[in-house]
């Protein structure tokens, strides 16, 4: 096995299990966090940042899904600024009902605002180092990566991991979303990074191999749109089970029937939501992705416990308006 790539002393990496994204801390006079995990673990995120940096000036979100922005509200209440890709920043400022895909995916996000919209190619001072914002749409339209050219460090968000690529939402983002994600990966590969810092899983020991594998996987999503829809459905459903500590087996299919993402997936696959829900449960049980325990269906992948009370936050359509100026 290849050795772990060396990391500079001004960076602290926290690999976290689902439902949190990994968290990156950049030390210096302007301490910054990249991504803040899931809302149920916001206090844990803030405590970790305090323990390692004392204070944090800025959070940069690679994108707005619930497992990346869950600590934003708590940190922002303590005076921390929030930066995010411009398309998502603008939608959050408008309080669009679709913000964070929170209601669509049934994934809670506490209300926050974006102080610093980020554009492609923008220079960003984080900690003591200069980074470049690289727009990498695909997993979400506003997804971004961060590039540190001197150390050749690449923060990739959900664009890829050591074992996978991010799912794409063909229903919300269009049938070309997979091709868009593939183009973003090609742009990242052209940088030839020394270190890849993904939002899930370990740091790849061989960046070139990880990127090559990601490009092959992303090409399969382009070549097989139905497969891309199934892939997304499996990931979304597993996440729902993780954050709810399982769902009663008798209530799983009614839960799925009520989900907008499942209805859209069924339309793209030309089946009814009822047929897709039943097949999703059956195939995931058969593959071992789900387990039945004490009458509850659980996601089999490793994940942290979630306190259900933390899920009681409003959907973005009910978030308070952003004050002018």
Upstream peptide bond of 19 is cis (omega within 30 degrees of 0): yes
Amino acid 2: pLDDT: 65
> Which percentage of the chain shows pLDDT scores above 70?
99
Mean pLDDT within 256-268: 98
pLDDT of 1 higher than 70? no
The model's pLDDT over 199-218, given as tens digits with 9 standing for 90+, comes to 999 999 999 999 999 999 99
Q: Are 172 and 189 in contact (CB under 8 A)?
A: no
Q: What confidence tier does 26 reach under pLDDT thresholds 50, 70, 90?
A: very high
The model's pLDDT over 55-85, given as tens digits with 9 standing for 90+, comes to 999 999 999 999 999 999 999 999 999 999 9
Q: What confidence tier does 127 reach under pLDDT thresholds 50, 70, 90?
A: very high
Amino acid 242: pLDDT: 98
Q: What confidence tier does 325 reach under pLDDT thresholds 50, 70, 90?
A: low
Summary mean pLDDT of the chain: 97
Q: Are 22 and 15 in contact (CB under 8 A)?
A: yes
> Which percentage of the chain shows pLDDT scores above 90?
97
CATH 3.40.50.300 applies to domain 12-223: no
Structure-token pair, residue 167: 């799912």
pLDDT of 37 higher than 80? yes
Q: What confidence tier does 322 reach under pLDDT thresholds 50, 70, 90?
A: confident
- Kindly report the pTM of this predicted structure: 0.97
Structure-token pair, residue 197: 């810092």
Mean pLDDT within 262-290: 98
How many other CB atoms sit within 10 Å of the CB of residue 275?
12
Angle at 144 between CA 317 and CA 28, to 5 degrees: 105
Amino acid 4: pLDDT: 77
**Coarse DSSP helix, strand, coil percentages of the chain, rounded to the nearest 5 percent:** 40, 20, 40
The model's pLDDT over 161-197, given as tens digits with 9 standing for 90+, comes to 998 999 999 999 999 999 999 999 999 999 999 999 9
Amino acid 249: pLDDT: 97
Amino acid 5: pLDDT: 85
Please provide the DSSP assignment of 72-108 as one string.
HHHHHHTT-EEEEEHHHHHHHHHT-TTGGGHHHHT--
- Residue 220 burial (10 A CB sphere; 0-12, 13-18, 19+): middle
Residue 61, C-beta contacts closer than 8 angstroms, at least 6 positions apart: 34, 35, 36, 68, 69, 72, 82, 83, 84, 85, 88
Mean pLDDT within 309-320: 95
């Amino acid at each position: 096995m290849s050795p772990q790539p060396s990391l500079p002393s001004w960076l602290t990496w926290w690999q976290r299990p689902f439902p949190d994204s990994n968290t990156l801390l950049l030390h210096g006079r302007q301490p910054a966090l990249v991504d803040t995990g899931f809302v149920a673990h916001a206090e844990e995120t803030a405590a970790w940042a305090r323990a390692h940096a004392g204070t944090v000036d800025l959070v940069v979100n690679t994108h707005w899904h619930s497992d990346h922005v869950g600590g934003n509200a708590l940190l922002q209440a303590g005076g921390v600024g929030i930066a995010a890709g411009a398309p998502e920043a603008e939608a959050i400022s408008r309080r669009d009902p679709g913000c964070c895909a929170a209601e669509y995916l049934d994934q809670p996000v506490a209300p926050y605002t974006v102080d610093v919209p980020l554009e492609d190619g923008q220079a960003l001072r984080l900690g003591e180092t200069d980074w470049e914002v690289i727009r990498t749409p695909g997993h979400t339209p506003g997804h971004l990566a961060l590039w540190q050219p001197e150390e050749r460090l690449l923060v990739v968000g959900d664009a890829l991991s050591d074992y996978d690529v991010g799912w794409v939402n063909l229903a919300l983002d269009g049938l070309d979303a997979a091709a868009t994600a593939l183009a973003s990966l090609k742009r990242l590969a052209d940088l030839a990074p020394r270190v890849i810092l993904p939002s899930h899983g370990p740091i790849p020991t061989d960046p070139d191999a990880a990127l090559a594998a990601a490009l092959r996987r992303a090409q399969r999503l382009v070549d097989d749109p139905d497969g891309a829809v199934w892939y997304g459905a499996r990931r979304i459903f597993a996440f729902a089970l993780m954050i709810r500590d399982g769902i009663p087996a008798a209530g799983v299919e009614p839960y799925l029937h009520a989900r907008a993402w499942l209805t859209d997936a069924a339309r793209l696959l030309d089946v009814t939501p009822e047929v897709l829900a039943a097949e999703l449960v059956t195939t995931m049980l058969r593959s071992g992705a789900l387990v039945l325990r004490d009458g509850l269906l659980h996601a089999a992948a490793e994940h942290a416990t979630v306190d259900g009370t933390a899920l009681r936050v409003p959907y973005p359509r009910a978030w308070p308006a952003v004050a002018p100026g």
